[in-house]
A and B are shown apart, each in its own frame.
Chain A
Amino acid sequence: MITKDNLISAYFIDNDRKNIEVLIKSEDEKQVIPIIMPFDETDSKFIELNAIVTVDKLHENTYQKKKEEQKDFEDLAMTIAKKNGLVFDEKKMDTKFYPTLVNAMFKNVENEDHLFALKLALFELDKIRDSKNDELKKKLRQSKNKIELLKLAIELIG
């Protein structure tokens, strides 16, 4: 029997939202018991559940569960990608980083999206953002290629 005390969670398990999984604690509270039931307002099990959990809450739980699953998946993917050197670990830079850095800086020098991202990253540096040299900062914002941008950034920091 599903009660307020033993209910852990309840959510839809299919995209059509026709079936619900309910997780309850066993009497000794040592096990989690899953119960699958149809989303049928005439079904006695659903009526029992609905007395404790509204349909809105079921939808909300489903949204939250999917969000958590998505995050777990992304975290796992990132861990594997970092382990295999497919993405950089910001906290652990190694020598593999430099060829990519060089490519990023000296290839595609007029790519607008790259330029934008590079300018933003440079403005994250307090020495640049808080520099009193407004003229150079203006030039940096207006620069049209990465080489010019880097020269200005070095001038501002130097």
Chain B
Amino acid sequence: MINIVCTGKPGDGLLRYGYEHCCYLNSVGIKSQVIIIPNPKHTKEDYIKSITDQYKTYENVIFDYYTPNSDEITLVLGRSMITLPYLDRDRYTKDQLMTLHLLFSNKVIAIYSENHPKDYPLALEYFNNKKVYDLCDFDVYPNGVGKQYEKIINFDVYKPIKDEIQHKHLFLGTTEIYYKEIERHMDTNGNYSDHGIVTYNAKWINPSLNNLFVPINNILGKFETYVYTKPNFDPAPRLFVEFRWLGKNVDYVRDKNIKDGGMIYWNRPVPTKDIYKTNINILIELIKEINEEYNIF
């Protein structure tokens, strides 16, 4: 069993990448499930809605409670999935913490990220992890560790997108930092009057702007253009890849000198089935190697 752990928020890309991995691995006969330990500020329903809004299926997802055997492998789509619950450990229930301990003390495959470089080793120590197998997108993290691996969207599992345009420009404002940057663009560019800002109902939002709260059903069908404004490090952007896949417009208005996944993904082709398969086979090979190493068949 491959346990794909998600400790992020329901709007996060890592939940989506995680669910897509789960679908693909099951489709090729590798039993997998997504284990969601909800962020203390969100409910199970938020996560369920996120998945059911976007994907054709909702299956192999469990919440909070799971007891893995020692021959199971834990997969995280970013190191922060381990570090965040360590940092927030006082806000989880004992049951959730037990599940996290049992999952992270097993063999872990982790996709490299650099969100909390000092806390990550402490998190591994806290969860008494025995071994981590690293995968890394070296184009995004040249100083990373592990085997080359990209996070790629599995469009095969997407629900069909209904064309029901409601606004011209889509902005992603799910954190205060992103939101402030969007406000700055709104102030300096008068062309964004017909907009929707995808965000959370938080205290830092500006009520005079058109805020749309996540999760949003059929989000990709409701806008003509995605305005990519994210001002800080973006390791594996999804929205502009999705817009390009649909043949829609993307305005890249952030600083093109930011060295992260923004420009890297911008210059990569829109993922096809073959591209997806070639990449995920690296993970599948690694799973086989681990199983052979531990004689798990």
Do A and B truly interact? Answer: yes
Cα-based distance from A37 to B4 in the complex (angstroms): 53
Check if A123 is an interface residue, CB within 8 A of chain B: yes
Contact indicator per residue, chain A 76-118, by CB within 8 Å of chain B (1) or not (0) = 0000000000000000000000000000000000001000100
Within 96-126 of B, Cβ neighbours of A (below 8 Å) are at: 97-98, 101-102, 105
* Contact present for A116 and B94 (CB under 8 Å): yes
Chain B residues near A116 (CB, 8 Å)? 94, 97-98
Q: Which residues of B contact A25 (CB under 8 A)?
A: none
Give how many A-B residue pairs fall within 8 Å (CB-CB).
Answer: 29
Closest to B68 in A: A129
Complex interface: chain A residues within 8 A of B68 (CB) = 129
A119 at the interface (CB under 8 A from B): yes
Q: Could you say which residues of chain B place their CB within 8 Å of the CB of A119?
A: 98
Contacts of B67 in A (CB 8 A): 123, 129, 134, 137-138, 141
Interface bin, chain B: 10 to 19
A141–B164 CA distance with the chains assembled, in angstroms = 48
Instruction: Return chain A residues, CB-CB under 8 Å to B95.
Output: 141
Q: Is B278 positioned at the interface, with any CB of A under 8 Å from its CB?
A: no
How long is the Cα–Cα vector from A124 to B130 in the complex, in angstroms?
11
| A5 → B minimal CB distance (Å) | 28
Distance of A137 Cα from B67 Cα, bound (Å): 8
Chain A binding surface SS class: helix
Q: Smallest CB–CB gap between A54 and chain B, Å?
A: 18
Residue of B nearest to A142 (CB): B95
Least CB distance, B94 to chain A, in whole angstroms:
6
B136 to chain A, nearest CB (A): 23
Contact A129 B70 (CB under 8 A): yes
- Tell me whether A130 and B71 are in contact (CB under 8 A): yes
- Residues in A with CB closer than 8 Å to B70 are 126, 129-130
With an 8 A cutoff between CB atoms, is A120 at the interface? yes
Contact (Cβ within 8 A) A112 B101: no
- A112 cross-chain contacts in B, Cβ below 8 A: 94
Interface string of A127-150 (1 = CB under 8 A from B): 001100010011001000000000
Residues of chain A within 8 A (CB-CB) of B98 are 116, 119-120, 141
Give the contacting residue for B69; candidates A120, A124, A130; CB below 8 A: A130
Please state if B94 and A120 are interface contacts (CB–CB under 8 Å): no
CB distance from A156 to the nearest CB of B (A): 12
Please give me the residue from chain B that is nearest to A113 by CB atom.
B94
A116 to B95, CA, bound (A): 9
CB-CB < 8 A to B94: which residues of A? 112, 116
Residue of B nearest to A125 (CB): B70
CB closest chain-B residue, reference A116: B94
Could you tell me the distance between the alpha carbons of A138 and B94 in the complex, rounded to whole angstroms? Answer: 14
**Contact flag A123-B102 (CB < 8 Å), given A112-B94, A116-B97:** yes
Q: For the complex formed, measure the closest distance between the CB of A70 and the CB atoms of chain B, giving whole angstroms.
A: 14
The answer on a CB contact under 8 Å between B101 and A129 is no
Chain B residues numbered 156-201 whose CB sits less than 8 Å from any CB in chain A: none
Encode contact with B along A27-64: 1 for CB under 8 Å, 0 otherwise.
00000000000000000000000000000000000000
Q: Which residues of B contact A120 (CB under 8 A)?
A: 98, 101-102, 128
B122 to chain A, nearest CB (A): 12
Q: Which residues of B contact A141 (CB under 8 A)?
A: 67, 95, 98
Smallest CB-CB A-B distances: 3 pairs = A130-B69, A129-B70, A137-B67
**A-B CB contact pairs (8 Å), 9 listed:** A112-B94, A116-B94, A116-B98, A120-B101, A129-B67, A129-B68, A129-B69, A129-B102, A141-B67
Known: A120-B101, A120-B102, A130-B69. 5 other contacts (CB 8 A): A123-B101, A124-B128, A129-B69, A130-B71, A137-B67
